[in-house]
Structure 1
Amino acid sequence: MTEITLDIAKQLVDTAEEKAEEIDVPMCIAVMDGGANLVAFQRMDDALLASIDIAQNKAYSSVSLKLDTETIWEVSQPGESLYGLGNTNDGRIVTFGGGIPLEVDGRVVGAVGVSGGSAEEDVSVASAAVEAFESL
């Protein structure tokens, strides 16, 4: 598998939604392919409206930088090598957890972005989708 198809993206969204329901936090869930094209998106009932863009931008950040957004946060802190990174790409780079790249044989083929809870909650939901991807 080297591309993120709609079928795969739907499976990842479903898995993420199940995890979000388990922790009782409504989320927005985005799945992008390796070219940062949105393949699937879902906003759960009562998820924050702001989370629509944030979830998509987390996926964009992860696929375009080939890093999870937690790592992006670490390297973009004051005094770090990429301080100010969050101000690039017309503000699309997100510097807090919830975006994780999807990899096949060490190559980034897409990303998942999740928003709606705390950064820790977003990471747990995105991680569930990544684990599902890795088991395909």
Structure 2
Amino acid sequence: MPSKPYLDQSQVAAVLDACQKEADANGFAVTIAVADDGGYLLGLRRLDGAAPFSADVAAAKARSAAIGRKETQVFEDMINGGRSAFLSAPMEGLMSGGVPLIIDGQVAGSVGISGVKPDQDIQVAKAGAAIL
């Protein structure tokens, strides 16, 4: 029977903690969302000072990174590069800050960050992904 890796709650907490550590070290007020491989939310942490709207955006970025199986920066670049038809894809959060979480070469989930500049969102997301 085929098997696949998944995120357990200790890994979700570790990703949230790693992202928060990176955000705190840089003074970033962000929301951190962790999703499973189907894009369903497993954890959400809105740091002090993060705009309420950032919770929805972070969750959407996490979902898109999970179901798209790639960083959301790729989707943003496609759209900005002229592939506007991709806007009709059944996904939201097609902007920088969503990163897949890879275990044993497979997408086990994702992390989405919202609240600061695009490159800073990516920086925080990759800090969380790096712990796996």
TM score, norm. by length of structure 2: 0.90
| Structure 1 equivalent of residue 73 of structure 2 | 70
| Structure 1 equivalent of residue 40 of structure 2 | 37
Gaps of at least 5 residues in structure 2 are none
Gaps of at least 5 residues in structure 1 are none
Separation in structure 1 between the aligned mates of residue 52 and residue 87 of structure 2, nearest angstrom: 21
User: Which secondary structure state, in structure 2, belongs to the residue aligned with residue 132 of structure 1?
Assistant: coil
Equivalent pairs, count: 129
| Structure 1 equivalent of residue 130 of structure 2 | 131
CA RMSD of aligned residues (A): 1.5
Is 2:50 aligned against 1:47?
Answer: yes
Is 2:47 aligned against 1:15?
Answer: no
Is 2:23 aligned against 1:24?
Answer: no
Separation in structure 1 between the aligned mates of residue 29 and residue 87 of structure 2, nearest angstrom: 25
Q: CA deviation at 1:94?
A: 1.8
AA matched with 2:126: S
Separation in structure 2 between the aligned mates of residue 87 and residue 118 of structure 1, nearest angstrom: 25
| Structure 2 equivalent of residue 105 of structure 1 | 104
Tell me which stretches of 4 or more aligned residues in structure 1 moved more than 6 Å. Answer: none
Is 2:9 aligned against 1:6?
Answer: yes
Separation in structure 2 between the aligned mates of residue 35 and residue 95 of structure 1, nearest angstrom: 16
Separation in structure 2 between the aligned mates of residue 86 and residue 49 of structure 1, nearest angstrom: 24
AA matched with 1:40: G
Is 2:62 aligned against 1:59?
Answer: yes
Separation in structure 2 between the aligned mates of residue 123 and residue 16 of structure 1, nearest angstrom: 10
Aligned residues: percent identity?
A: 27
Q: Residue 86 and residue 79 in structure 1: after superposition, are their counterparts in 2 closer, same or farther (change >3 A)? A: closer
TM score, norm. by length of structure 1: 0.88
